Structure 1
């Protein structure tokens, strides 16, 4: 890191031997202006209280000869031991370094927003329960998976003969229903896509299971068949595919290592705008798409002007509403409004003064967001890096900086503060406008998501598996470091490694 300030990303998880391990990742800006996230190591903790985590971090910093005064950001999930206002890890670090600002993982907030919406509506919750049941029934055994593959192959061959299916490299390959993950609600997006693309084959497999009659879950298969061959299921299927499709792009973008906080804020706003546009303009197109799909698969489409009564409600007490009102108001509009409300609630921190000031660094649209007073206020958040004298110099420099940037064609098409920092280093302007570049590095150092830490836990399950469950903590940490940071260690040739081991102690033979 060459003495640069950095942000701290921390999370904890159990390894295969049921030991609580804390993974640590540092985020900083290198000499080229690129955002770097590096795995530092695994630290064993006796428990997950904030005091234990703080002691483990202090031990790590002492071993690596680092100072907590160089920390400029903290990134954790929403656990109380992490973000607690009175004695959480965030608060303990802020007591030692007030400039180590905490950012709640954006990807985790998106996950919470999706979970809250899907569990808040009985119809949508029932729909996802039906999807999980369908995946479990069809994928319960190798025999049923083979049945699905065979049916899919027959349907593809039939479609190719009728010339109704596009062909090309990578298309129409063998696949199966995708099982959704428990820790990433957005993984349900892939499940919905696979159900839509394999709907005809899934229906045939369910019918074969029912006709076979020799399985214990024939009743579940019959219920799933009735569920998926209903207009209500198809409407929910296409509607939630649209919702998760919008948030899936945001989720993937937030998990990039080089994602900066300014661009992440813009992506969240774009997601909200897309949902709002969908609420106002997309219902008729969705209804046409669902009706067309139902007609293709011989599913009855109800008259939208007929009265709708939910199955779980009493016919006498049920409100007199039409199918159109139910699907448009009770499902379509309500779910989108709940999603928008959850996103506004979960991402309320993007409206904080610090991040609003940070957004003025954006070079988009020829630096349209530039605001001199807000950037001066942003610098005031870091008194350790900007003395009163530095603030005066920054004020003078900002006027020259913005005039220079707006007159140069090579800076007019930049997107995001990350590209601005790289371009300034490339042109040598990071030395000319040193105070502005310092603001950029502080902004880029702020963490966006803890995806890098979570990837370390996936690697931990590979390095320390059931057959190597007695690995010591230091050995595990060192092995993970080499495994995860391959690009750093790939430059070390084998001869150097062998020579190092040769020099460690006397060997019988030359390595």
Structure 2
């Protein structure tokens, strides 16, 4: 476990100091707390003087009852827990991906797709040549505008689990390169070196041309598009607290607007995409039949109910719930009040009411 202290020195400057790295026998909250107390004691420090604590988002750290932050708060109620905003958003997106089956399936399939398409230079060349030919044809037919900086070459970069903003770019590029990716899979499905490669490519080809995949692909592209702007903004080094909290608020509002009024627009976009690439669209009034089950065991809901209520609404609701859980009112209020002591521009942010509210966080 690594431990870093952040404090203000006698000159009024903020200092971040790497204090120690220590081996822990296990990662339970109690063991970590004992390790921290041991390090503090060695350096003549006291947990009672802490005025803040921050960890990663694991449950053993941030748990409301038995997490490390809670154990320290029981001894020192003023060691408020503040989480790094960009990482909070990261954890929100990860939670959505892991807790919703349709979304988890989408990202697993995307990983397999990237492995197959990017397995060799030859396959990447097929992808590139196919896309160049399609762009050239579209320009010839005046379907694309030409000009400086337009129609640049793009690829299918592998998304990183520690940078969930990269998933938005990957999904966006899959939509743009969709017909070219199909060309690569058809080539591998016919000319793969062995039956294993051919079968895998044929499976992915069938999966990519299913309505379920197209629906989830466009849905998550739209959801991640909203949070992607927030993610990039939160990682700017010149970002301030007030603007960051406003961005969180705006993201929540846009997600709520998407849930309330965005269904028809999303469905129209998906149906247009399916029509363009000859993908079979199920009747929205028909009964939904889950893949891999016989129609006798089909759940008794319509396709419209399944895609709108069970997926569209649920994914957005989970996103909003996670944002509310991780960007809590108490931490937000504490940070906004602390901002009134910002010395920039001759303390232009000073506010007496905020200072009084700030002082109430530390009555002793």
TM bracket, shorter-chain basis: 0.7 to 0.9
Matches within 5 A, 1:303-322: 303-322=283-302
Matches within 5 A, 1:227-306: 227-306=207-286
Q: For residues 263 and 141 of structure 1, do their structure 2 counterparts lie closer, same or farther at Cα, with a shift above 3 Å needed?
A: same
TM-score (norm 2): 0.80
Matches within 5 A, 1:124-203: 124-203=103-182
Q: Tell me which residue corresponds to 1:377.
A: 357
Deviations 1:67-96 (A, max 9, x none): 999975433212466557778378659968
* Aligned-pair CA distance for 1:361: 9.2
* Aligned-pair CA distance for 1:209: 0.6
Tell me if structure 1 keeps the 8 A contact 2:288–2:301: yes
**Aligned pairs, how many?**
349
RMSD: 3.8
Tell me if structure 1 keeps the 8 A contact 2:242–2:336: no
Tell me if structure 2 keeps the 8 A contact 1:73–1:103: yes
Distance 1:40 1:360 in 2: 25
Q: For residues 37 and 288 of structure 1, do their structure 2 counterparts lie closer, same or farther at Cα, with a shift above 3 Å needed?
A: farther
Tell me which moved more, 275-284 or 343-352. Answer: 343-352
Higher fraction of strand: 1
Q: Tell me which residue corresponds to 2:23.
A: 46
Distance 1:322 1:126 in 2: 21
Q: Tell me which residue corresponds to 1:224.
A: 204
Unaligned segments of structure 1, at least 5 residues: 1-11, 13-21, 363-369, 385-511
The one of the two structures with greater contact order (alpha-carbon pairs below 8 A, sep at least 6) is 1
* Aligned-pair CA distance for 1:134: 0.7
* Aligned-pair CA distance for 1:334: 2.0
Partner secondary structure for residue 299 of structure 2 = coil
Q: Tell me which residue corresponds to 1:122.
A: 101
Tell me if structure 1 keeps the 8 A contact 2:230–2:247: yes
Distance 2:332 2:164 in 1: 27
Q: Tell me which residue corresponds to 1:341.
A: 321
Unaligned segments of structure 2, at least 5 residues: 343-349
1:74 to 36, 49, 53: 53
* Aligned-pair CA distance for 1:217: 1.6
Distance 1:323 1:94 in 2: 50
* Aligned-pair CA distance for 1:185: 3.3
Partner secondary structure for residue 193 of structure 2 = coil
Q: For residues 201 and 324 of structure 1, do their structure 2 counterparts lie closer, same or farther at Cα, with a shift above 3 Å needed?
A: same
Question: Which is greater in Rg?
Answer: 1
Distance 1:165 1:56 in 2: 63
Tell me if structure 1 keeps the 8 A contact 2:53–2:69: no
Tell me if structure 2 keeps the 8 A contact 1:76–1:104: yes
* Aligned-pair CA distance for 1:261: 3.4
Tell me which moved more, 76-85 or 272-281. Answer: 76-85
Tell me if structure 2 keeps the 8 A contact 1:350–1:356: no
Matches within 5 A, 1:80-99: 82-83=61-62, 88=68, 99=78
Distance 2:67 2:211 in 1: 51
Distance 1:145 1:243 in 2: 28
Tell me which moved more, 114-123 or 41-50. Answer: 41-50
Distance 1:154 1:37 in 2: 56
Q: For residues 37 and 358 of structure 1, do their structure 2 counterparts lie closer, same or farther at Cα, with a shift above 3 Å needed?
A: closer
Partner secondary structure for residue 217 of structure 1 = helix
Deviations 1:150-199 (A, max 9, x none): 22222222222223223333333333212121223342111101101111
